[in-house]
A and B are shown apart, each in its own frame.
Chain A
Amino acid sequence: DSGVTQTPKHLITATGQRVTLRCSPRSGDLSVYWYQQSLDQGLQFLIQYYNGEERAKGNILERFSAQQFPDLHSELNLSSLELGDSALYFCASSVDDRTHEQYFGPGTRLTVT
């Protein structure tokens, strides 16, 4: 158990819908990262937050957004969902924004039908 929690574990929704994925980092970790793992694209970095502020952005679609709250939990919002958004979404956390060990949550499996 990495100490990072993600909810829900599984999510099934229809195209065009909007969902919110939630992540709670390890106790004491200030930085949260979101990744998408799909069969064709592999593991891709989406976005990073550090202590409530956006720190780095990767291949995140405009339909996706995220935020980190004062209690350091983070939410990833996916809207206007398409079939291709079906993937495993991971959250990871680290102590700061440059520490070099990221600990991953169990992931949320999103299926868009």
Chain B
Amino acid sequence: AQTVTQSQPEMSVQEAETVTLSCTYDTSESDYYLFWYKQPPSRQMILVIRQEAYKQQNATENRFSVNFQKAAKSFSLKISDSQLGDAAMYFCACLSGNTPLVFGKGTRLSVIA
């Protein structure tokens, strides 16, 4: 069974600073996909970024980038130039084989003005 672990229940960052959210996963599949979703207070789940396991290059979406360490099964999210609107719950998720999307427990990010 695949698992996703987010070891940081809460994080905080100063506005304009950079923060990194950690995620580790475990899957026996060689073909899998990793995602970060953001859930702001509105509770909407918003796809932030995705990474295909077969790609060595780390995915980037504007201020969001990932550090994908395949051997270590690590998939961290870096948020640069943090903004107040980045405050939310962030969920790491893994999709592999015939297993549906599995989510971690989430990290609550606070942004301090």
Contacts and interface: CB of A to CB of B under 8 A. Distances in A.
A104 B103 contact: no
A92 to B, nearest CB: 8
Interface residues of B, number: 21
Interface of A: 2, 33, 42-43, 45, 48, 56, 58, 88, 90, 92, 100-104, 106-107, 109
Contact of B103 (A42, A100, A101): A42
Contact of B44 (A45, A58, A106): A106
A2 B45 CA distance: 9
Nearest to B34: A100
B101 A45 contact: yes
Interface in B25-68: 33, 35, 37, 42-47, 50, 52
B45 A104 contact: yes
Contacts of A58: 100
A45 B100 contact: yes
Given A100-B33, A100-B50, A48 B44 contact: no
Nearest to B104: A42
